């Protein structure tokens, strides 16, 4: 396998719901491993996600986990996930689903550099940027 770069998001107990939501948005195969699948897991954390990975039909990989109880988490303030490309219909669809129930911080619209761009926080507090490249004339 070639090297790849992908986001890894930490959640405070909502990794399963978030990854299922992202699977609904992007499609694909979701693999989940819980803390309870390994010896010595605390019963209170047994159903929490130790590692989750979504592989989408578009070739995106998204990984996530629930943080252990002794870790501090600040969702959405340490990273942004960027989606970009020239398939306007696909990217508009992702934008609509991601923004639903979340907060639009920059509306998806044409920007001074000529592309459509928007930014939102999804309902899990994760920051997303969408840039739709416009055809060059």
| Residues in Cβ contact with 1 at an 8 Å cutoff, skipping those fewer than 6 apart | none
Report residue 108 CA to chain centroid gap.
18
Of the listed ranges 24-33, 65-74, 118-127, the one predicted with least confidence: 65-74
Domain end call among 66, 89, 114: 66
**Are residue 95 and residue 56 in the same domain, yes or no?**
no
Q: Is the pLDDT of residue 76 over 80?
A: no
Q: Considering the entire predicted model, what is its pTM?
A: 0.82
**Are residue 124 and residue 92 in the same domain, yes or no?**
yes
Report residue 93 CA to chain centroid gap.
15
Task: Look at the chain and report how many structural domains it folds into.
Answer: 2
Q: Is the pLDDT of residue 77 over 80?
A: no
Looking at the chain, the number of H-run helices and the number of E-run strands are 2, 8
Instruction: List beta partners, residue 117.
Output: 109, 131
| Residues in Cβ contact with 27 at an 8 Å cutoff, skipping those fewer than 6 apart | 56, 57, 58
Mean pLDDT of 64-91: 84
Domain that holds residue 51: 8-66
């Amino acid at each position: 396998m070639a090297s790849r770069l992908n986001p890894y998001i930490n959640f405070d107990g909502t990794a399963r719901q978030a990854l299922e939501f992202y699977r609904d948005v992007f499609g694909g195969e979701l693999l989940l491993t819980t803390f309870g699948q390994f010896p010595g897991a605390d019963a209170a954390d047994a159903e929490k996600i130790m590692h989750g990975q979504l592989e989408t039909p578009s070739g995106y990989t998204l990984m996530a986990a629930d943080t252990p109880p002794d870790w501090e988490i600040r969702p959405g303030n340490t990273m942004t996930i960027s989606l970009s490309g020239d398939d306007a219909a696909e990217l508009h669809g992702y934008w609509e689903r991601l923004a639903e129930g979340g907060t639009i911080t920059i509306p998806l619209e044409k920007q001074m550099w000529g592309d459509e761009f928007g930014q939102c926080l999804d309902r899990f507090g994760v920051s997303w940027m969408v840039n739709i490249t416009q055809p060059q004339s």
